[in-house]
Amino acid sequence: MRKRDSFQLTDSTIFKEALLCWSQQFEEVVWLDSNAYSGKYSSFDGVLAADALTVKVTDVQNAFEDLKEYQSETKDWIFGYLSYDLKNDVEKLSSRSHDGLEFADLYFFQPKKIIRIEGDVAYFDYLNMVDDEIQSDYKSIIDCFQNEVIEEPAKTNIRIRMRIFKDEYFRKVRQMLSHIHRGDIYEANFCQEFYAENTQIDVLKTYRKLNRISQAPFATFLKLGDKYLLSASPERYLRKEVTKIISQPIKGTAKRSFDISEDEKLKSELSSDEKERAENIMIVDLVRNDLSKSALKGSVTVEELCKIYSFAQVHQMISTITAEVATDKNPVEIIRETFPMGSMTGAPKISAMQIIEQLESFKRGLYSGAVGYFTPEGDFDFNVVIRSILYNASKQYVSYSVGGAITAKAIPEKEYEECLLKAKAMREVLEHV
């Protein structure tokens, strides 16, 4: 079904840039970049999927059943995304808030062309109908970089607005705290949107700058027609390797410092912060419960608890939870039983999602959803869509959203400061500061 060829690369970094440039001719593109991340369960350095043979696009109604049918019938690589609002297919929930982006709720495609980078080798996996294009495409990719002039985007006048202002944010966090104190929930992830209207951006240059300043392990460039995702995500939602499933939720954020001793101090303070650890452990318990729906009895294991990982912009507290599943367990069913990810919802999960829907002022859509792929063997890997810029080119609407976990010890002012810290990279990229 697919022909594979490989090419030795002299410089994989240059090849990545050229590959992304070359891919812009296609209507459907998913680029996943690990940015040389070598953490637990990392795989390829980068993978590009482009040029759809078949496509599955749907709204929330029966979305997971539609995906299950598509994945099992295709029996090939499929790439795409799951929006947060697929929660409405999993539970009796709804999404009524403002949607400025208008992304489909679910979008997957079977690419004719897949190019993976592992170390200094590029592997071309092409469907047989286009396998005679491998050599010419490799040459075109090299030519693309040689012919391209990469420039810094000029300073623009993008006017970023807030969907809610500071006072309203404080008021809504206090409402969420009242739910917590009443015992309705223990924790919920409360998010806010920043957006710009009547705005055009150079998507490739914007992504490159975001990726350069963030160097995130689950970075994504997604193009589906006129819709774009430019993501510097540090978080994995869920991965399946044969019979092992892996989730790595993030809860706990601290800024970085250029001063080495100060940076180590910030890292140490995050590691010992009782509030941040409590947030992380609550989500670990939720993820353990989610994984247990699919897992073989007694196989759910916490491999890492509240471990600190350092990225270009922030320190993050990450836990790793694994489980074993039966060999005949349907891969889409595993996702349905754990979706949406606990780090972006709260505990108890359904109550948290109901309260989130009441208090947030925008439809999350792809934000806090997941982008990734299924392999022909039924393995998969998906990130969490955070630290991301979303763009509808036809509507000229740009958006990025940030959030944080609200627990009983949350202080609205500090939660607001953490949101601004998380938003820093996206704002800098869009305003070209």
Q: Which residues are catalytic?
A: 235, 251
Q: What single-letter DSSP state applies at residue 26?
A: S
Contact call for residues 188 and 174 (beta carbons, < 8 A): no
Confirm if 323 and 296 have CB atoms less than 8 A apart.
yes
Place of tokens 């934000």: 367
- The owner of tokens 């490799």 is 138
Phi/psi for 94 (5° steps) reads: -145, 170
Q: What does the alpha-carbon distance between residue 285 and residue 32 come to, in Å, rounded to a whole number?
A: 29
Amino acid at 172: K
Task: Give dist(CA 396, CA 100) in Å, integer.
Answer: 10
Six-digit token pair at 348? Answer: 């108890």
- The closest alpha carbon to 248, from 304, 297, 207, 179, belongs to 304
Cα–Cα distance between 137 and 114 in angstroms, integer?
A: 12
Distances (CA, A) of 267 to 215, 254, 262, 271: 18, 7, 9, 6
Beta-sheet pairing, 244-248 with 314-324: antiparallel
Selection from 107, 115, 97, 83 nearest residue 7 by Cα? 115
Classified as helix, coil or strand, 23 is helix
